[in-house]
Chain A
Amino acid sequence: MATNNDSPITMDTFLAGIWRENPVFVMLLGMCPVLAVTNSVSNALAMGLATTFVLLCSSALVAMLRRHIPKEVRIASYIIIIATFVTVVDYVIQAVSLEVYNALGAFIQLIVVNCMILGRAEAFASRNRVGTTLVNSLGMGLGFTLALLCLGSVRELLGAGTLLGFPVFGEAFEPWVIMLLPPGGFFVLGAWLLLFAWVKEMQMKRTAHAGEASAHAR
C-alpha cells in the first residue's frame, strides 16, 4: 500500500477542493455530468449533492480499508465500492422524487465513471486517515456542487429567463433557448474557464508588477 503521510487536518485540506484544486474549473474532471445536467439550477443541485454523497461515503470506506486492499487490484476494488454507493443513491432518489430521477436519467448511474471520485480514492483516500479524507472529500464535493451551480444558474437564466423556476426577467424577455441545448453547455463552461484564466493572468501580472516595483525601490 502507498506510504502513509498522515497530514494534519487544516483549513487548507477543506478549501483546496473549493478553489485551488476545484475539480471542474481547475482539474477538468468529471466533465460529463457537469455539461449534461446543468440546464437548470435544481438539476445541478441534485446532481451535485448526489455526487458529494457518493464521494464522501466511498472515500471514507477506501480510507478505512486502505491497509487491506492489495495494490494490484485496488482500482477494481475502488470501482466496486463506488458502484455500490451509486446504486444506493440511485434507489434513494427514485424513492424520494421521481421527478428529479426522470430529469437526471442515466446520469445518476453514470456517477460511477466520474473520474473525480476515482481520482480522490486513488490520490487522497488511499494515503490518508479517515478524518482527513472526509474533510478533503467534503471540500471537493462542495467545489463540484458550486461549479455545477455556476453553470446551471447561467444556463437557466439565459435559456429560460428563470432562476429555480421563478421568472427573473419581465414578460418581454425572449428566452435564449440554445443555452439549454447541448451547445450552450459547452459555450458556458468555455466562458467560465476563460473568465478564470483571465483572472489568473491579471493576478500574475499584478504580482509581477509588485515584484518589479520592489526591485526598483531597492
Chain B
Amino acid sequence: MHAESLGYIFLNAAVINNFVLALFLGICPLLGVSGRLNTAFSMGLATAFVMLISSTAAWGLNALLTAYDLEFLRLIAYIAVIASAVQLVEMTIKKFSPPLYKALGIFLPLITTNCAILGVALFQTNYEYDFLQSVVYSLGAGAGFILAIVLMAGLRERLELADVPSIARGAAMSLMLAGILSLAFMGFAGLGG
C-alpha cells in the first residue's frame, strides 16, 4: 500500500506520466483516430470508460487470483475481462445512442487491443494500489488519454491547411507532432512531487 495521495495519483497518471506521450501506451488510436476532433473526443471517452470498468474488474480479479495462488493466470484473466467490458460498452452504446455507435464504427471493438487499457490494469497491480487508488488511477489515465488524443486531433486539423512536403505526409508527420507534444509534456515532470 502506497502513501501517495489520491490527487497525486490522478495528476501522475493524467499529465506527469501521461499514458500516451510518456509511457507510449495506446499509440495506435493516437495515429489512427486523431484525424477529426469530434471523433477523437468520442473515442477518448469510450476508451476512458472501458478503462474505468476494466480496472475496477481487474482489481477484484487480482484479489481473487491472489487469494487462490493463481497469479500466473492474471494476464489471461485480465484480457478476458477487457474483451467482455468492450463488448458491454458496445452493446450499451448500440442500445442507447445508435448515432454515436455508427460514428465510432470499427474503432469500438479495436479498443480491446489498446495497450493503454491492459497497461492500467497491469500497472495498478504492480504498484499494489488499493480499490480507491485504482479507480482514481484509471480515471487519471483516461483523462490523460482524452487530453493527448484531442490535442493531437486539433493539431492535425490545423495542419491540413499547411503546405507539407509530400514525403512527410501521414505517419511521419504525426510522429513528429507527437514528439513535440511529448517534449511539451516533459515540462510537467516534478509537478506535485
Contact = CB atoms under 8 A, between A and B. Distances in A.
A212 interface: no
B70 to A, nearest CB: 12
B27 A31 contact: yes
How many chain B residues sit at the interface, stated as a range, is: 35 or more
A158 to B, nearest CB: 14
Given A190-B176, A197-B167, A86 B75 contact: yes
Question: What's the interface size class on A, roughly?
Answer: 35 or more
Interface in A96-135: 106, 109-110, 112-115, 118
B115 A110 contact: yes
B64 interface: no
Interface of A: 28-29, 31-33, 35-36, 75-76, 79-80, 83-84, 86-87, 90-91, 106, 109-110, 112-115, 118, 178, 181-187, 189-190, 193-194, 197-198, 201
Nearest to B184: A183
B115 A113 contact: yes
A186 B175 contact: yes
Given A113-B118, A183-B186, A190-B179, A90 B75 contact: yes
Interface string B139-165: 000000000000000000000000000
Nearest to A30: B28
21 contacts: A31-B31, A32-B115, A35-B24, A87-B72, A91-B72, A106-B122, A109-B75, A109-B122, A110-B25, A112-B79, A113-B115, A118-B113, A178-B183, A183-B180, A186-B175, A186-B178, A187-B175, A190-B172, A190-B173, A193-B171, A201-B166
